[in-house]
Amino acid sequence: MAKSRTQSKKATPRAPAKKTGSGGYGVPLGALCLLLALWLVYNTVTLEPFSWGLFAEEIILALCAVFALRLLGMAKLANWVPVACIILLCAGIVVYGAAAAAKSGADVTRFLCLAGTAACMLLTARQLDAKPDGTLFCALLFAASLPVLVSQQTTLLEEFMRLLLTAGVLAAVFAVKEKLAWLAFLAAGLIGVSGAAGFYAVFFGAGAAAGLLLGAPKRERGIWVLAVVLTAGLPLVVRLLAADRLPQSAALFAQNVLTPGVLALAIKTHMIRIYGMGLLLLAIRFFVGREDALAVPVLALVGAALFRLLSRSPAAEAWMDAPMLACLAGVGIAKFARPKGR
């Protein structure tokens, strides 16, 4: 009798454990990513005067860049490629910044912020895509955008904000991947401090908070909700407090002394269009598989897009989002046509 009970227990298959995360929200997230991609592409297409030939030429040029990267991903890359990308890209930015400071009197601190932003962006890409080609594509896309980024007319405070926001997204992605609440609070602190630079960080933080909520584990929902509230609320509180109390230092609010060159003006809209194509491929991944950690950067970009809509800023000027756009576009291109779950 006991033997038959033992056999029946062995024969009974175990029910698979339910996964936590944003798996049930894949379709809405994919739809938001798709809308964001189409909005970026639409706002970079020449409409006045509109011609189908020019439209096809612009789209084909972006597709050629995307598929060239995808073909590069077919090669078997070594595991040290992401580390090399981080070191070379950051070192290149710092060396260029030192040369620009010696030649044109540019502020080296701006380039240090940009190098830190690039490092955080590539580390985020490494978390979102375990294979080396995702990080490589992000590095190539970001490097191609450097002529625009190094001459962008932003203040030093805005460069600090971009660094803190990218670091906050990195911490949030780590938190969702590893299910560690303290990393979620670290993300809240980083994003919260960035609110001193403007309301852009407020909208960005609200989107990142929504992504954290979707990726929160059910067993620790309470502590994660507190981190989500802080991520959404701290940037607004800091912004309201800093509006009158932030010292009007000439260094913090100094504009970039470098001006956009011919190359920067030529590639400006093309790079945003390529980013849009990469997001379009990323949206497909939401419809075919679970992409829990991707909810944080995608919803953060949705918040940034909402800010630009309310401030009536054209999507073609979305260069404050360039690190996250390069990250998601690179990951989307790398993961496209891969088997589900890879």
Q: Is pLDDT at 219 greater than 80 in this prediction?
A: yes
Model confidence band, residue 114 (pLDDT cutoffs 50, 70, 90): very high
**Residue that the structure tokens 């912020």 belong to:** 113
Q: Is pLDDT at 44 greater than 90 in this prediction?
A: no
Closest CA to 198 of 294, 90, 313, 40: 313
Phi/psi at 46 (5° precision): -70, 115
Q: Which amino acid is at 31?
A: A
pLDDT digits (tens, 9 = 90+) for 267-293: 888 899 999 999 999 998 887 766 778
Model confidence band, residue 46 (pLDDT cutoffs 50, 70, 90): low
| Mean of all residue pLDDT scores within the chain | 85
Of 104 and 2, more confident:
104
Of 14 and 68, more confident:
68
Position 47 scores a pLDDT of: 63
Position 291 scores a pLDDT of: 73
- For the chain, the straight-line distance linking the first and the last C-alpha, in angstroms and rounded, comes to 46
Alpha helices in the chain (DSSP H): 2-11, 26-42, 52-73, 81-104, 108-128, 132-149, 156-178, 181-194, 199-215, 221-245, 262-288, 295-310, 322-335
pLDDT digits (tens, 9 = 90+) for 185-204: 999 999 999 998 889 999 99
